[in-house]
Amino acid sequence: MDSIDAASPSYPPKILFVDAFDSFANNIVGLLEECLHAHVTLVHVDDAKINDDLAETLSGYDAVVIGPGPGHPGIPSDVGFITKLWEVDKEHELPILGICLGFQSLCLSHGAAVKKLPFARHGIVTKPVHNDTDIFAGIGRGLQATQYHSLRVDLRGNSSEVATEGSTFWEPTVNCPALHPLAWDVSDASNGPILMAVRHSTKPLWGVQFHPESICTSDEGKQLVVNWWTSAKAWLSERGRTRSLHKEKLTSSVGDGLPPTLEFATAGSSPWDSPTSDSSTSHLAGLLRSVIEEDDIVLRWGRNSAANINPTSLVDALGHSRDEFVLLDSQNHPTGRYSILGFMVPGKTMKVTYSVSDKTLQYGIIQGNMCTMQLHSIDEVWPMLQDALSLHDPRTHEMGSSRASSSTGSDVVSTGLDQYVAGHLPTESPFWGGFMGYISYEAGLETIDVKPHTSTVPDINFAFMHRSIVIDHQTSSVYIQSLLPQDWTWIRNVEQTINKLASQPPLPTGGSTIPQPSTPEEAQENKTLDQSLKHAHISRPKEPTYRAKVLRCQDYLANGDSYELCLTDSTTITTTPQPPLNPWTLYKRLRANNAAPFGAFLRLSHTTVASSSPERFLSWTRDGKCQFRPIKGTVKKTPLMTRAHAHALLASDKERAENLMIVDLIRHDLSGVVGAANTYVEKLMVVEEYETVFQLVSVIEGYLPPHNNGLARARASGSGSVSGIDVLKSSLPPGSMTGAPKKRSCEILSTIEQRPRGVYSGVLGYLDVGGAGDFSVVIRTAVKNQLDERGERGERGDDVWRVGAGGAVTVLSTDEGEFREMETKCESVLEALLMPRGARVG
Ligand SMILES: C=C(O[C@@H]1C=C(C(=O)O)C=C[C@H]1O)C(=O)O
Ligand SMILES: NC(=O)CC[C@H](N)C(=O)O
């Protein structure tokens, strides 16, 4: 058998990373890659193959790192095969570093007790004391370390008689003679000293309770990892330990490779009865592509450079307000630069929906037959969407075009329109056409293998928009765009409408300075809206019930099952059929009273969404720059709440801890796809001001690696190069709506909330044919589903709107405080919907 000298400096270490389903694992992998240039293989604690053949697996590695995780090291399902690692025979022994749960498991297996802390430490940054030896050598006093734990290691074990043994901090106890304490947290008198690190006296085993990979752990965390590997290498060379080369790879399991079965919902002949002959193209993508008979995919577009148009006025002026359409409506914030409208075209637009509960995909061109496809999982949806987008990328066709005309490609003018601009696409426009719609929270749950409650709304709900209008509020430009052949008439009509609107006095744009409705029609619309809302029945979450749920969350937190739980609840507004409530008028009122950078109106496949979200989930540009903007930390605006006071409140341990946990979680989500080397935190916890609240916001960014970057690709999906859609699907549901670790937190929330969240807590936005995307987190939003649970219209025709709201529960929360926070968020929507336009104060 070939072997190599693992201790030789010329070989990068091969490290087996054992993940206990934590949401920080990829950050640790990144740290090992960065500090040690290590090749890291990530496996999960429940990996049956490794469990059965541990010794054999270990022979292919130089060292093992055991990561953090939810739960208790004494619970077999929480730690899986970790416990076996402490018992491997001498021949297969390897250096091991245990982090948090890994550390606790090491100590538990060597005689320590693991107990609940009186006050759990989640997202808290401490300065551990250490005596500068072993893996702490040369680290000095500068170490700041993030803690994420509810449990503590007690080297005195459970026995009270030995409580006085090991009375010095730095010596082993009678119970754990093999464990040498290396560091302590003595910052919190109510908890007393908490053990922060140990090493084994004879075996190459180390453990740390804190998280060296956290964004708030100082650079000394990296030094600690380097020190560990130096000691590990010394042990390996002393042992003459070599790893065998034929064990280089552990392959992850792949699907069964069966194609999905295709059925048609409607009997009889369909123009698309058979899937496309090109097997690399899905039927969905082929069907959509067949709408455009031309050979070339071309974006016809024009720009009006002098019109900062109100998008809602444009919808009204174009006469679309009662149709199905999607508006992404940005107001009042630098992040809300673009508003985007996507319109449906009979016989052309494709609708796509996916349902998590029966795993069916439905798609078809509107006014044509719908196809139903039974899928094995949601994983099959993404490549179909990707395919459809790629087939419509105008860049792949533009160069071969012979009909190039305008050399400027700029303003639409009244002559020369019957040509298209080739070789010159509007690169400043972030969307050229493509899918617009949402992905529900439950769809996100399916991606992380958590059983969802059955929801009545479609879980993926998109339409492929050939026609779109992009308004750049920063430059006051409007892009009118169509991927349909010979669509200049539409473009010209829109242009004329815009010119007409631009020549009118400006309409209100939102915010507290809004005047009363300016046109008689609008006044009438609002009057009718007031009448239908007058008899609306509002059912809010009950305070005692919600507060009890907060306390239940805190029980889970205290037990170590989660570090943060984003608890939510739902308020319903039921309106009577007469007079019918016009959702579009309702939305216009919402945006006027609660202006937001990621507002949206969507009417698509039986679902209506009126959103005033302040939060971007994820955006990515065509050249691959990804951005997450999680919000965590909320302070209500009142006349007495100054900016300075809000800053002070948002600088508290509680708010910063909430935010930190999500930043680390999102670094993990993003780096799992693009690699840690391409992931960075652009802004850490800055205060932003919105219509009714101050929020604490962080910005995490990264770059999609160039095509065929093996490392990132291998971790993402195992095939092809990575795209923004890979980042999107790997980051659902949004971390700011779940808590950390994501999977366990979602399972807990599902048992506490006992209902689906639906569109709320999902993401809403677009996937562009040129490869860009932008999605908000669906919060501060009202959602109406036209159908009841049986998929039928309710008997009396009542409309039920749901407004979800919640907040992150940590051990530092109070049940009353959390109830008030949920109420504040919910009321920001309810008041905006129910209050006459412009009546908001403060
Ligand atoms: C849960 C909601 O908001 C989320 C929770 C926040 C928090 O805990 O501070 C802030 C913004 C959102 O990520 C909501 O608005 O309903
Ligand atoms: N981050 C962790 O690994 C946490 C370990 C354990 N679940 C605790 O809460 O103490």
CA of 447 to the centre of ligand 2 (A): 24
The finding on whether 150 has its CB within 6 A of some atom of ligand 2 is: yes
**pLDDT at position 535, please?**
84
Mutation pick for ligand 2 pocket among 82, 104, 107 (CB with most ligand atoms within 8 Å): 104
Q: In this structure, which residue's CA is closest to atom 6 in ligand 2? A: 560
Q: How far is CA 735 from the centre of its chain?
A: 5
Cα-based distances in Å from 209 to 46, 123, 261, 668: 22, 13, 49, 19
CA of 288 to the centre of ligand 2 (A): 48
**pLDDT at position 379, please?**
97
CA of 148 to the centre of ligand 2 (A): 6
What does R_g of the chain's alpha carbons equal in angstroms?
29
Residue whose structure tokens are 């293998």: 449
Q: What is the 3-state secondary structure (H, E, C) of 75-116?
A: CHHHHCCHHHHCCCCHHHCCCEEEECHHHHHHHHHCCCEEEE
**pLDDT at position 398, please?**
53
Ligand nearest to the CA of 70: 2
The finding on whether 338 has its CB within 6 A of some atom of ligand 2 is: no
Q: In this structure, which residue's CA is closest to atom 4 in ligand 1? A: 807
What confidence tens digit (pLDDT) does each residue in 426-440 have?
999 999 999 999 999
Structure tokens at 796: 């009396």
Q: Are 730 and 702 in contact (CB under 8 A)?
A: no
CA gap 727, 624 in Å, rounded: 11
Cα-based distances in Å from 509 to 375, 461, 589, 694, 712: 44, 28, 11, 21, 43
CA of 587 to the centre of ligand 1 (A): 21
In one-letter notation, the amino acid at residue 235 is: W
Residues 6+ apart with CB under 8 A from 659: 123, 630, 632, 633, 685, 696, 698
Q: Are 710 and 721 in contact (CB under 8 A)?
A: no
Q: In this structure, which residue's CA is closest to atom 5 in ligand 2? A: 101
Using a CB cutoff of 8 Å and minimum separation of 24, what contacts does 199-203 make?
A: 199/134, 199/135, 200/106, 200/110, 201/172, 201/177, 202/178, 203/93, 203/178
CA gap 498, 492 in Å, rounded: 10
Atom of ligand 2 nearest to the CA of 114: 10
Q: Are 171 and 178 in contact (CB under 8 A)?
A: no
Per the rule left: phi > 0, alpha: psi between -120 and 50, beta: everything else, 685 is left
CA gap 506, 524 in Å, rounded: 20
| Ligand 1 pocket at CB < 6 A | 566, 568, 615, 631-634, 736-737, 777, 779-780, 804-808, 825
Ligand nearest to the CA of 824: 1
* Beta bridge partners of residue 764, listed in sequence order: 438, 776
Atom of ligand 1 nearest to the CA of 696: 9
Q: Which among 442, 438, 445, 443 has a CA at the least distance from the CA of 461? A: 438
The finding on whether 71 has its CB within 6 A of some atom of ligand 2 is: yes
**pLDDT at position 268, please?**
26
Length of the chain: 842
Atom of ligand 2 nearest to the CA of 148: 1
Ligand nearest to the CA of 107: 2
Q: Are 623 and 641 in contact (CB under 8 A)?
A: no
Structure tokens at 238: 């002393």
Ligand nearest to the CA of 23: 2
To the nearest 10°, report the CA torsion of 446, 569, 796, 600: -70
Q: In this structure, which residue's CA is closest to atom 3 in ligand 2? A: 68
Cα-based distances in Å from 274 to 270, 279, 287: 9, 11, 10
Atom of ligand 1 nearest to the CA of 655: 9
Cα-based distances in Å from 8 to 206, 232, 418, 596: 21, 12, 69, 57
Residues 6+ apart with CB under 8 A from 230: none
Atom of ligand 1 nearest to the CA of 779: 15
The finding on whether 69 has its CB within 6 A of some atom of ligand 2 is: yes
Question: Is residue 630 reached through a cis peptide bond, with omega within 30 degrees of 0 on the bond before it?
Answer: no
The finding on whether 151 has its CB within 6 A of some atom of ligand 2 is: yes
Q: Are 191 and 184 in contact (CB under 8 A)?
A: no
Q: In this structure, which residue's CA is closest to atom 4 in ligand 2? A: 149
CA of 744 to the centre of ligand 1 (A): 19
Q: Are 335 and 597 in contact (CB under 8 A)?
A: yes
**pLDDT at position 714, please?**
37
CA of 646 to the centre of ligand 1 (A): 16
Q: State the DSSP string of 579-630.
A: SPP-HHHHHHHHHHHS--TEEEEEEETTEEEEEEE--EEEEE-TT-EEEE--
Question: Is residue 579 reached through a cis peptide bond, with omega within 30 degrees of 0 on the bond before it?
Answer: yes
CA gap 345, 569 in Å, rounded: 37
DSSP state of 456: S
Cα-based distances in Å from 104 to 226, 276, 827: 21, 55, 43
* Beta bridge partners of residue 40, listed in sequence order: 15
The finding on whether 101 has its CB within 6 A of some atom of ligand 2 is: yes
Residues 6+ apart with CB under 8 A from 660: 123, 125, 146, 214, 215, 216, 685
In one-letter notation, the amino acid at residue 207 is: G
CA gap 604, 462 in Å, rounded: 8
The finding on whether 68 has its CB within 6 A of some atom of ligand 2 is: yes
CATH class in words for 3-247 = alpha beta
Taking the model in full, what pTM does it have? 0.91
Q: Which among 512, 479, 430 has a CA at the least distance from the CA of 309? A: 479
Angle between helix 520-534 and helix 583-593 axes, rounded to 10 deg: 100
Q: How far is CA 121 from the centre of its chain?
A: 24
**pLDDT at position 685, please?**
96
Longest Cα–Cα distance in the chain? 95
Atom of ligand 1 nearest to the CA of 822: 16
What confidence tens digit (pLDDT) does each residue in 741-784 have?
999 999 999 999 999 999 999 999 999 999 999 999 999 999 99
CA gap 638, 627 in Å, rounded: 31
CA of 151 to the centre of ligand 1 (A): 27
CA of 497 to the centre of ligand 1 (A): 38
Ligand nearest to the CA of 146: 2
Question: Is residue 271 reached through a cis peptide bond, with omega within 30 degrees of 0 on the bond before it?
Answer: no
Q: Which among 188, 190, 158 has a CA at the least distance from the CA of 173? A: 158
Structure tokens at 429: 């426009």
Per the rule left: phi > 0, alpha: psi between -120 and 50, beta: everything else, 641 is beta
CA of 780 to the centre of ligand 1 (A): 9
Q: Which residues does the chain have with pLDDT short of 50?
A: 1, 161-166, 246-278, 399-420, 422, 509-516, 708-719, 838-842
Q: Are 756 and 453 in contact (CB under 8 A)?
A: yes
